[in-house]
Amino acid sequence: MIYISAVGMINALGNDNDEIARNLTRGIAPGMRPRAGWLQGNPHAVFAGVDGELPAIPDKFAAHRSRNNQLLLAALAQIQPQVDEAIAQYGRDRIAVVLGTSTSGLDEGDRHVDLTLNGRESAAWRYPQQELGDPSRFLSHWLALDGPAFTLSTACSSSARAIISGRRLIEAGMADMAIVGGADTLSRMPVNGFHSLESLSPALCQPFGRDRCGITIGEGAALMLLTREPQSVALLGVGESSDAYHISAPHPEGEGAVRAITQALSDAGIAPDAVGYINLHGTATLLNDRIEAKVVNALFGERVPCSSTKHLTGHTLGAAGITEAALGMLILQRDLPLPAQDFTLSPPDPALPPCGVIARPQPLERPVILSNSFAFGGNNASILLGRIS
């Protein structure tokens, strides 16, 4: 069994676990608001940002200066004592770093191009900032670790797959502990890319709402420590699939999603009725919500309460999987009420198959949480967490 010994995160709900837990319970996201300058032509749209000052990256790591890596440092600070203890216990060569991202330092690269095209100096830019492998390389160097370190980029399932890969490294004997997670930053390229696909909502997203029209993009980071040492929360099971049905659309029957969920249940050795809450991928696009509702209805009926938390964090892209798994861990650790789906701006879509979406907070009755991440290209991942009594 693999356990989770610590978690740190930062997103639109708050800058640490205490603030995030309070705001998750209240259903309020301080960082969620209209922002200008991201969409071409500078129209306002709602984005989920991180407010406040982030840790500085010193000159020694100038080649890794990016907001993405600053978000990682903010998450790391929350679990630094546990990381230091692990280094002392296991050694620097026995700790792995596996992260997920879809932007890395892309925003810094974008600003560099903008400056140079307009004849201005871009002295702060370094090429490694925007490489997809930079987050894990940076964090490994920052902590002076010598264990395996790599980054995964499978769009919106990236950091969920980082959790799965970290578990595999421990089970294979290649590491005694794994720092897993991910980070993504607001950036003009993905923002305008989703807008060109007509998948970006200018207003706050409405997962499973009748009037939903697309995603709200957010930024954030989260890190977990995986270990064999028994803890109060365990990584019960994982599942992943790659159906490759379409570059940007889910399989019409959700075949890959079904495989990921059933694989996670089988891996954990539990029946669907043992799950107490499902954190849905729930992006608020017309297709994703329709297919996910169909899949959950087929596997669980209406028996398991579920909701999407993306109206509170935004869709943090490559960081979504770890962000939502970390929220699940907070619910398990602190016995928080299950987050309700917000239907104040749009009523529930009556055309969707009934799948247990809750409109009001309620207690977690069974201490097992399933978190789904379904990405472009059919890259699907499901994570099962459970409280160990």
Triad 60, 140, 171: Cα angle to 5°: 175
Q: Which residues contact 80 (CB under 8 A, 6 or more apart)?
A: none
Beta-bridged to residue 386, according to DSSP, are: 234, 368
Residue 96's CB: how many other CB atoms inside 10 A?
A: 25
Closest by Cα among 387, 5, 332, 324 to 176: 5
Packing angle, helices 320-334 and 17-26, rounded to 10: 80
Lookup: tokens for 236: 């019960």
Is 248:343 a contact under the CB 8 Å cutoff?
no
Catalytic residues: 156, 281, 315
**How far apart are alpha carbons 272 and 269 in whole angstroms?**
10
Residue 173's CB: how many other CB atoms inside 10 A?
A: 8
